């Protein structure tokens, strides 16, 4: 899948346009989650280690295609700190927005990055107003916050066949149920199982 042109927005045949009453602008923007978890739902161990996930992402399971479809990465500070320790900058060519309530030294990032802070809804509005079409939301606390605010449209989870018992969860408490439409599940020889869901508005 190639990056879509601006006037195609995020829409593909059969898919709705992601305008939302919650956004101050009428610009379409889609917010997606793409995460790898243990079977019991953890994205990392308590201290941040992710040794239980296959090295290098493991067997190809759609990450490259997903990344090609996003223009903006929205990550929490904890994820940013982990990414800084990687040998390369995995977000080359993307707009990167790091969330933190405290001043960040963004000059440590090997690529351009900006900081935002505040409630999810104004952040989503600001991203939409400044041209974001498809945003990759990443980091446990960050994903949970945007889900609670009803701002996530699409979720792809790849489950790794391991139980780790404790760790940083992808999902957390919610003020109400979030209904999902199952779009499909792919299974891979290595044991990875990737499921895609659309959040029912």
Which residues form the interface with ligand NAP (CB under 6 A)? 35-36, 43-44, 48, 50, 53, 75-79, 82, 99-102, 117-118, 120, 138-142, 145, 168
Distance CA(193)–CA(137), nearest Å, equals 20
Structure-token match 């408490």, residue found:
173
Distance CA(154)–CA(147), nearest Å, equals 10
Nearest to ligand NAP of 9, 99 (CB atom) = 99
Nearest to ligand NAP of 30, 77 (CB atom) = 77
Q: What is the radius of gyration, based on Cα positions, of the chain?
A: 16
Nearest to ligand NAP of 4, 106 (CB atom) = 106
CB of 108 to ligand NAP, least distance (A): 14
CB of 171 to ligand NAP, least distance (A): 11
Distance CA(201)–CA(150), nearest Å, equals 8
CB of 82 to ligand NAP, least distance (A): 4
Three-state SS string over 118-154 comes to CCHHHHHHHHHHCCCCEEEEECHHHHHHHHHCCCCCE
Shortest-Cβ-distance residue relative to ligand NAP: 76
CB of 23 to ligand NAP, least distance (A): 16
């Amino acid at each position: 899948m190639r990056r879509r042109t601006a006037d195609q927005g995020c829409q593909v045949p059969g898919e709705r346009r992601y305008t939302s009453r919650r956004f101050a602008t009428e610009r379409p923007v889609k917010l997606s989650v793409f995460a790898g978890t243990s079977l019991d739902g953890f994205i990392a161990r308590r201290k941040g280690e992710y040794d239980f996930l296959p090295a290098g992402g493991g067997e190809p399971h759609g990450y490259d295609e997903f990344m090609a479809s996003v223009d903006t990465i929205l990550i929490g500070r904890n994820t940013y700190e982990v990414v800084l320790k990687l040998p390369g900058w995995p977000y080359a060519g993307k707009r990167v927005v790091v969330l933190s309530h405290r001043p960040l030294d963004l000059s440590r990032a090997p690529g351009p990055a900006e900081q935002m802070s505040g409630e999810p809804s104004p952040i989503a509005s600001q991203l939409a107003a400044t041209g974001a079409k498809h945003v990759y939301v990443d980091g446990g606390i960050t994903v949970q916050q945007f889900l609670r605010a009803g701002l996530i449209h699409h979720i792809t989870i790849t489950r790794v066949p391991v139980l780790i018992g404790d760790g940083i969860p992808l999902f957390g408490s919610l003020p109400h149920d979030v209904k999902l439409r199952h779009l499909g599940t792919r299974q891979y020889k290595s044991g990875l199982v990737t499921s895609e869901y659309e959040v029912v508005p």
